[in-house]
Amino acid sequence: MLEINQLEKCFGTTQVLKSIDLSVKPGELVFVIGPSGSGKSTMLRCCNRLEEPTSGSILLDSEHVTECHGRALDKMRLKIGMVFQGFHLYPHKSVLANVMLAQVKALKRSKPEAKARAMEMLEHVGLAHKADAMPSELSGGQQQRVAIARALALDPKVMLFDEPTSALDPELVGSVLKVMKQLRQEGMTMLVVSHEMEFAREAADRVVFMDGGVVVEAGPPEDIFGNPKSERLRAFLSRLQPTTAA
């Protein structure tokens, strides 16, 4: 489904990603962990070309994401949903308009059609009753769920999540994770960067540990958390949960 081959990314002279290989199979949830600055966000942002990869290729359903330009790139991005740490809802548009905008302008759906689909997605994330609210009137957790609905309404093939719960108050995290679990059950292909280890244990098919711009270790959650092989992963986990590690 999503294939990342020998992806490299440099900012000026510093190399942030060093030959990343990673593939996500249809219906799989791949979970990415790693210390701050290890290049997790950069990798996700390369997948929909918000960052331009320095070299390497990215394929979605064996189509080259990295070789698209102009309109073709816009079309390709429709198939790749992205959820940001900071939500990035459009503050000047209502919740409903947020979910409708790209449907109408990029997917060229008719307004009634887009509206029906938007309401369906808002229903899905439990926020249909907020359709006419402005983003500023919602809690962080609600905003993030609207952002998920905005991405889902475009019927993407894969969803990228970049620390979707990091900006939320602890009591709001659960509502967003619940929506993500539900998505996974429906068979959505997902690539998730997050620090919610509990969620990874429960829901991930595979966990990828990145450090210093490389994939250090990858495997099922039981192995990664229960039997970490590399020293770096052990150190990372023990720093994260000093009580459970050892």
What's the alpha-carbon Rg for the chain, to the nearest Å?
18
The contact pattern for other proteins, residues 169-208, with x = CB under 8 A and - = no contact, is ----------------------------------------
Q: Is 151 in the site for other proteins (CB under 8 A)?
A: yes
Min CB(90)–other proteins separation in Å: 6
Please answer whether residues 9 and 38 qualify as being in contact, where contact means their C-beta atoms are separated by less than 8 angstroms: no
The contact pattern for other proteins, residues 214-233, with x = CB under 8 A and - = no contact, is --------------------
Please answer whether residues 122 and 147 qualify as being in contact, where contact means their C-beta atoms are separated by less than 8 angstroms: no
How many angstroms separate the CA atoms of 27 and 43, rounded? 20
Task: Read off φ and ψ for residue 32, nearest 5 degrees.
Answer: -110, 125
Burial class (CB in 10 A: 0-12, 13-18, 19+), 151: buried
What is the CA 30 to chain-centroid distance, rounded?
A: 10
Q: Please give the residues from 187 up to 226 whose contact with Mg ion meets the rule CB under 5 A.
A: none
Query: Residue 16 binds which one of ligand ATP, other proteins, Mg ion, none, with CB within 5 to 8 A depending on kind?
Result: ligand ATP
How many residues sit in the footprint of Mg ion (CB under 5 A)? 1
Contacts of 226 (CB under 8 A, 6+ apart): none
Task: Please tell me the total number of residues recorded for the chain in this structure.
Answer: 246
Kindly state the DSSP code that residue 188 receives in the 8-state scheme. Answer: -
Q: Please give the residues from 25 up to 54 whose contact with other proteins meets the rule CB under 8 A.
A: 48, 50
The contact pattern for ligand ATP, residues 6-45, with x = CB under 6 A and - = no contact, is -----x----x-----------------x-xxxxxxx---
Closest to other proteins by CB, 101 vs 133, is 101
The contact pattern for Mg ion, residues 9-48, with x = CB under 5 A and - = no contact, is --------------------------------x-------
